[in-house]
């Protein structure tokens, strides 16, 4: 559990895209995002107050979150000086970078001396159990995709926001480093040892109130041969009551796999539902989330209408249209 609220470290981000983790935190957990810290040359701006470490401390910030993806994967000297200052000022640090904070002896030593924490969210923090498959109370929704990186996290976060606006009982459950930094907790599923993947998902989505929904962040795709095992662990460990199908209709091939075509939504529906029913025979497919960022507004709306008619399920782009109709579908089961 990462302590909130956050000061978002943007470093010397070369553009806005490099700061997308920080942007995600600001978009989805605005209460966590007290301010931003930018180094000379930073080209990103979240529109948050620029703060010094002292100002952030005074504003109650607990953790400096590295909200920027750097080039080369190493934490350079200019960053490190700032991070050491943050540790000396009593902040915890949190990072989703491949290069671990805990891999830098000077940061580790400083954190030990100051009694602060270094959170590397790519590294599993606990020993997860083997999954036991026992039926849990409460309800769970999982987004599954025709491919990787089609908008599964965005869909789950948009649904959570809509549900909270309706005063429904809902929790986004992060399974990747960006999601973990946004929410402050979760499981870095792709870094978990194979035997414990499904158990980690069970641990993440425990017994809950009968009306509570976990909105589980999906990973990979059952049809992506590099990562399908991770997806399978979500389908079985998550025991979903509801599936949302996610698609990005303009991909020429599966991400990173030039020889593989994405499956149809029908194939995804049939495959994912049959597998999900092994763990939860009551599971249903309730809606479709389409990432239409590469279509014009007119083409997007036409595509969504076609998908909705063909599949007999609400089909929306939550970025263009919000997630209200997906939540309506969830509330109806």
Residues in contact with a second copy by CB under 8 A are: 130-135, 189-195, 197-199, 222-223, 225-233, 235-237, 254, 256-257, 259-260, 263, 271, 274-275, 278-279
Contact criterion met (CB below 8 Å) for 238 and 205: yes
**What is the distance between the alpha carbons of residues 120 and 181, in angstroms, rounded to a whole number?**
10
For a second copy, the closer of residues 77 and 259 by Cβ is: 259
Q: Are strands 6-11 and 213-216 parallel, antiparallel or unpaired?
A: unpaired
Residue 131 Cβ vs a second copy, minimum distance, rounded to whole Å? 4
- Residue indicated by tokens 């995002």: 33
Residue 189 Cβ vs a second copy, minimum distance, rounded to whole Å? 6
Mapping DSSP to helix (H, G, I), strand (E, B) and coil, where does residue 302 land? helix
For a second copy, the closer of residues 80 and 122 by Cβ is: 122
Residue 240 Cβ vs a second copy, minimum distance, rounded to whole Å? 12
For a second copy, the closer of residues 185 and 271 by Cβ is: 271
Residue 262 Cβ vs a second copy, minimum distance, rounded to whole Å? 11
For a second copy, the closer of residues 99 and 321 by Cβ is: 99
DSSP assignment of 233-297, as one string? HHHHHS--SEEEEEE-TT-SSBTTBTT-PPPPHHHHHHHHHHHHHHH-TT-EEEEEEE--TTS-H
Residue 309 Cβ vs a second copy, minimum distance, rounded to whole Å? 26
Residue 257 Cβ vs a second copy, minimum distance, rounded to whole Å? 5
Return phi, psi of residue 258, to 5°.
Answer: -60, -25
For a second copy, the closer of residues 23 and 146 by Cβ is: 146
**Integer angstrom CA distances of residue 5 from 27, 57, 58, 145:** 14, 10, 12, 32
Residue 260 Cβ vs a second copy, minimum distance, rounded to whole Å? 6
- Residue indicated by tokens 């080369």: 72
**What is the distance between the alpha carbons of residues 156 and 111, in angstroms, rounded to a whole number?**
34
Beta bridge partners of 285: 243
Contact criterion met (CB below 8 Å) for 120 and 190: no
Least Cα distance to 204 among 169, 228, 232, 233 occurs for 233
- CB neighbours of 4 closer than 8 A, spacing ≥ 6? 29, 31, 32, 62, 63, 184
For a second copy, the closer of residues 206 and 256 by Cβ is: 256
**What is the distance between the alpha carbons of residues 237 and 248, in angstroms, rounded to a whole number?**
25
For a second copy, the closer of residues 82 and 257 by Cβ is: 257
For a second copy, the closer of residues 84 and 246 by Cβ is: 246
């Amino acid at each position: 559990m990462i302590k909130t609220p956050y000061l978002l470290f943007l470093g010397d981000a070369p553009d806005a895209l490099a700061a997308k983790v920080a942007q995600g935190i600001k978009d989805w957990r605005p209460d966590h995002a007290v301010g931003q810290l930018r180094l000379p040359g930073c080209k990103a701006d979240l529109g948050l107050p620029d703060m010094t470490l002292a100002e952030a401390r005074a504003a109650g910030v607990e953790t400096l979150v590295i909200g920027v993806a750097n080039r080369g994967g190493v934490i350079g000297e200019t960053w490190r000086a700032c991070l050491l200052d943050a540790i000396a000022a009593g902040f915890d640090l949190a990072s989703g970078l491949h290069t671990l904070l805990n891999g830098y002896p000077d940061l580790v030593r400083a954190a030990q001396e100051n009694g602060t924490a270094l959170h590397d969210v790519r590294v599993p923090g606990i020993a997860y159990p083997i999954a036991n498959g026992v039926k849990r109370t409460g309800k769970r929704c999982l987004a599954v995709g025709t491919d990787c990186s089609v908008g599964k996290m965005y869909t789950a976060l948009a649904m959570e926001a809509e549900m909270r606006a309706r005063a429904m009982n809902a929790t986004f459950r992060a399974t990747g480093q960006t999601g973990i930094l946004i929410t402050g907790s979760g499981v870095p599923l792709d870094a978990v040892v194979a035997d414990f993947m499904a158990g980690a998902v069970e641990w993440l989505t425990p017994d809950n109130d009968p009306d509570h929904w976990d909105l589980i962040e999906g990973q990979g795709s059952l049809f992506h041969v590099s990562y399908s095992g991770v997806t399978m662990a979500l389908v079985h460990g998550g025991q979903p009551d509801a599936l949302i199908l996610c698609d990005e209709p303009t991909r020429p091939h599966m991400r990173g796999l030039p020889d593989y075509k994405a499956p149809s939504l029908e194939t995804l529906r049939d495959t994912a539902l049959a597998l999900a029913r092994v763990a939860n025979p009551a599971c249903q497919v309730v809606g479709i989330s389409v990432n239409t960022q590469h279509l014009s507004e007119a083409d997007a709306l036409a595509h969504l209408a076609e998908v909705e008619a063909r599949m007999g399920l609400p089909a929306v782009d939550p970025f263009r249209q919000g997630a209200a109709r997906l939540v309506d579908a969830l509330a109806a089961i």
